[in-house]
C-alpha cells in the first residue's frame, strides 16, 4: 500500500491510499480518483516526504488523525452536515429525481431524501418547481 498526498485543479489538498503506484496511475487515468472536497477528477500527486515509523516517532504517528478525519474547519462542517443528512434522510440513489417528483406531486409519502441525479434531471426538477438542492459532497460510495 502507498499513501499519496494529492491536490485537485482547485487547489484542495487531501490524502488517499493506493495498492501501488501503478494502481494510482490506472485509477487516475480512468477518472476514478476524485477530490475529497469538491469532487473534481483533475487530481495530481503533490510533493510529500516519505513516512518512516520507528522508535519514539511510532507513538506520535499513532496519534495522528485518520486520513478521512476533517483537517480544517470547513471539512469539519461538511462532515457534520453529511452526518446529519445521512442520519435524518433516506438515501434513494439514482432514483432521486423520480422519488423527489413523486413526493412533490403527492404520489409518495413526504419524507427527507437524498441521492444522485443526472444534471439534466436536476435542472428539470428545479424548472418544475420541485424543491431540491445539490449537496456539497459526494455520496459515500463515490468518495475516495
pLDDT one-digit tens code per residue, 35-83: 888 888 999 998 766 666 665 555 555 566 666 677 788 888 888 998 9
- Domain membership of residue 32 (yes or no) is yes
Same domain, 138 and 80: yes
User: Which residues make Cβ contacts (< 8 Å) with residue 81, sequence separation at least 6?
Assistant: 135, 136, 137
Global pTM reads: 0.52
Three-state SS string over 94-118 comes to HHHHHHHHHHHCCCCCCCCEECCCC
pLDDT digits (tens, 9 = 90+) for 70-120: 778 888 888 899 899 999 999 999 999 999 999 999 999 999 999 999 999
- Domain membership of residue 68 (yes or no) is no
- Rg of the chain taking only CA atoms, in angstroms: 19
How many domains does the chain fold into?
A: 2
For 100, other C-beta atoms within 10 Å of its C-beta total: 23
Same domain, 78 and 138: yes
Report whether pLDDT(14) > 90.
Answer: no
pLDDT digits (tens, 9 = 90+) for 124-136: 999 999 999 998 8
The SS3 call for residue 99 is helix
- Domain membership of residue 57 (yes or no) is no
How confident is the model over 1-5, as a mean pLDDT?
A: 86
Same domain, 81 and 135: yes
Same domain, 82 and 28: no
- Domain membership of residue 53 (yes or no) is no
Same domain, 86 and 126: yes
Answer left, alpha or beta for residue 43, where phi above 0 means left and psi between -120 and 50 means alpha. beta
Confidence of residue 26 (pLDDT cuts 50, 70, 90): very high
Same domain, 38 and 83: no
User: Which residues make Cβ contacts (< 8 Å) with residue 136, sequence separation at least 6?
Assistant: 78, 81
The one-character DSSP state at 95 is G
**What pLDDT score was predicted for residue 76?**
87
Same domain, 84 and 138: yes
- Domain membership of residue 66 (yes or no) is no
Q: Return phi, psi of residue 26, to 5°.
A: -65, -50
Query: Which structural domain, as residue segments, surrounds residue 9?
Result: 1-48
For 76, other C-beta atoms within 10 Å of its C-beta total: 12
Amino acid at each position: 500500500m502507498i499513501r499519496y498526498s494529492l491536490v485537485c485543479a482547485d487547489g484542495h489538498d487531501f490524502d488517499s491510499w493506493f495498492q501501488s503506484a501503478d494502481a494510482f496511475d490506472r485509477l487516475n487515468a480512468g477518472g476514478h480518483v476524485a477530490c475529497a472536497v469538491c469532487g473534481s477528477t483533475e487530481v495530481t500527486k503533490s510533493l510529500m516526504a516519505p513516512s518512516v515509523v520507528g522508535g519514539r516517532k511510532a507513538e506520535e504517528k499513532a496519534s495522528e488523525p485518520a486520513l478521512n478525519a476533517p483537517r480544517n474547519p470547513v471539512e469539519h462542517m461538511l462532515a457534520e452536515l453529511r452526518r446529519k443528512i445521512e442520519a435524518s434522510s433516506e438515501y434513494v440513489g439514482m432514483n432521486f429525481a423520480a422519488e423527489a417528483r413523486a413526493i412533490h406531486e403527492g404520489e409518495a409519502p413526504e419524507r427527507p431524501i437524498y441521492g444522485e441525479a443526472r444534471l439534466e434531471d436536476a435542472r428539470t426538477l428545479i424548472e418544475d418547481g420541485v424543491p431540491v438542492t445539490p449537496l456539497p459532497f459526494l455520496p459515500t460510495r463515490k468518495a475516495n
